[in-house]
Amino acid sequence: MTHEVINQAPPRVDLNEYLINPALTEAVKRYDAQWAADHLSEVGSLVGRADFQRDAELANTNPPVFSSHDRWGNRVDAVDFHPAYHRIIGAAVAHGAHTSCWADPRPGAHVARAATFMLFAQVEPGHACPMSMTHAVVPSLRLQPELADVWLPRVYSRAYDPELRDPATKPSAIFGMAMTEKQGGSDVRANTTHAVDAGAGTYRLTGHKWFCSAPQSDAFLVLAQAPGGLSCFLVPRVLPGGTRNVFRIQRLKDKLGNRSNASSEIELDGTVGWLVGEEGRGVRTIIEMVGQTRLDCVLGSAAGMRQAVAEAAWHTRHRSAFGALLIDQPAMTAVIADLQLEAEAATWTALRLAAAYDSDDDESIAFRRLATAVAKYWVCKRGPNHAYEALECLGGNGYTEAFPLARRYREQPVMAIWEGSGNVIALDVLRAMAREPQSVEAVDREITSALGAYAAFDAHVAATRALLARAAADPAAAPALARRVVEALALALQGAVVIREAPTAVADGFVSARIGDDRSLEYGALDPALDLAAIAARA
């Protein structure tokens, strides 16, 4: 009897992760993607299966292995993955988590793709990196029609073929990017990798990249200094005809977070690349790509929040203490409700952003320019502490690698770092305010749409506008205010979306917990007058 297992939650498997996520299903319907409901239900069932979750575990407990040379001494620069990783990424590609919105454009296409991406990233976030990069390169590739004709059909493909070989013989392609250098970080204009014109549209690139994620990809967008200035290049791993391009992997990074996806340092030495966009306009060429990857950081963080609160709620619904289920005890009800408020606000905001990418009218372009940066800053920063609080709900189980929340806790910080850490994003918001005032006007119209329902929200909007005016009036002092500006904008934006779209109990809770006088940085410090049980029931 000493080993009889009682009062432990059963495995959280074989659930439809789409159908049991009310915020996601409601947002999909609200933002014109209900036509994808059957597809998303299929994905939700897939990622909820026990074998898929087991693959997520295997992909992270059996990380990729780098081999610089083969057994005979030939340079191969190979990264080998556990079969579980290939099964996961193959499933994500087959269901369009990478480029379905580009391959099949229609109203709600970006929303449907975002929801698909989130469902896969909820269970295994590592593979989401190459999925996001493959998605994000499309606008940049379109700037170079002759390259787009070759690569976009492969990028749009629902097939997955991890073998590196002549692109002409492959039906599909996965893309990565190599921008960051050790001396520059986010300051890509400090890059020293240089490119020499070799004629016929090709260049020879030489230099070192400090972070190159998914080095096993078929091709990469790379920034290098050309004679005309910083430029963007397409660098394939294998050249037309089957010859290996010079792409030397120096080492894989030993990361805090996911182990399933390889991140590396690489060296280029006379490496062949094709110019994308205009020479000297590299930053401009990748700017749309950056917007897309920042959006995916928001999607990934929101997906992580969903995993965290769902796991915490599952445990507390099946675990008893002191004579009652944990979920029914007021202190725990408040914590689960608060975690759900954060996850719901992130989900609604993420899909509102995705919807803005479904239209290219002036209003949508202006809105997403500022709102994507604002949401990226705030949602991604909220992720790590949210994961920790959810982990704590599981007690000692949460602190072990046998349960997924330890992995999630280590994963969440990367979204706040990738595509611009806090100060970079905050300063970019100031840049948008100064150079693209129409973006501020578009976000303000979004916020204005929710005025009149809550006095606390109205007061927050007034304070936010005053803060914006203060930053605009003194540009030299504005950087010191940047984080306050972005936080205020983010809460106003989230509040507007939640007030307008979410159920009343959620809107009441969000305004009270994040905007009102009772706001607390501690999860679970909610006004007991709120309908906490109704909010927690959505987790």
**Residues 215-232: tens digit of each pLDDT:** 999 999 999 999 999 999
The reported pLDDT for the residue numbered 94 is 98
The reported pLDDT for the residue numbered 185 is 76
Q: pLDDT tens across 447-467, in order?
A: 999 999 999 999 999 999 999
- 3-state DSSP assignment of residue 306: helix
- Grade residue 535 by pLDDT with cuts at 50, 70 and 90: very high
How far apart (Å, rounded) are the C-alpha atoms in residues 512 and 506? 10
The reported pLDDT for the residue numbered 288 is 85
CB 309 within 8 A of CB 340: yes
- Grade residue 522 by pLDDT with cuts at 50, 70 and 90: confident
CA distances from 372 to 364, 369, 412 (A): 11, 6, 18
Q: Is 46 buried (19+), middle (13-18) or exposed (0-12) by CB count in 10 A? A: buried
Q: pLDDT tens across 151-168, in order?
A: 999 999 999 999 999 999
State yes or no: pLDDT of 116 exceeds 80: yes
The reported pLDDT for the residue numbered 331 is 96
State yes or no: pLDDT of 12 exceeds 70: yes
State yes or no: pLDDT of 1 exceeds 70: no
State yes or no: pLDDT of 141 exceeds 70: yes
Give residue 384's identity as a one-letter amino acid code: P
Q: pLDDT tens across 228-277, in order?
A: 999 999 999 999 999 999 999 999 999 998 899 999 999 999 999 999 99
How far apart (Å, rounded) are the C-alpha atoms in residues 225 and 156? 30
Q: How does strand 202-213 pair with strand 248-252?
A: unpaired
Q: pLDDT tens across 391-401, in order?
A: 999 999 999 99
How far apart (Å, rounded) are the C-alpha atoms in residues 68 and 93? 28
Max CA distance (Å), the chain? 78
Instruction: Give the angle subtended at the CA of 386 by the CAs of 380 and 387, to the nearest 5°.
Output: 95
Give residue 105's identity as a one-letter amino acid code: P
Share above pLDDT 70 across residues of the chain, in percent, rounded to a whole number: 99
pTM of the model: 0.97
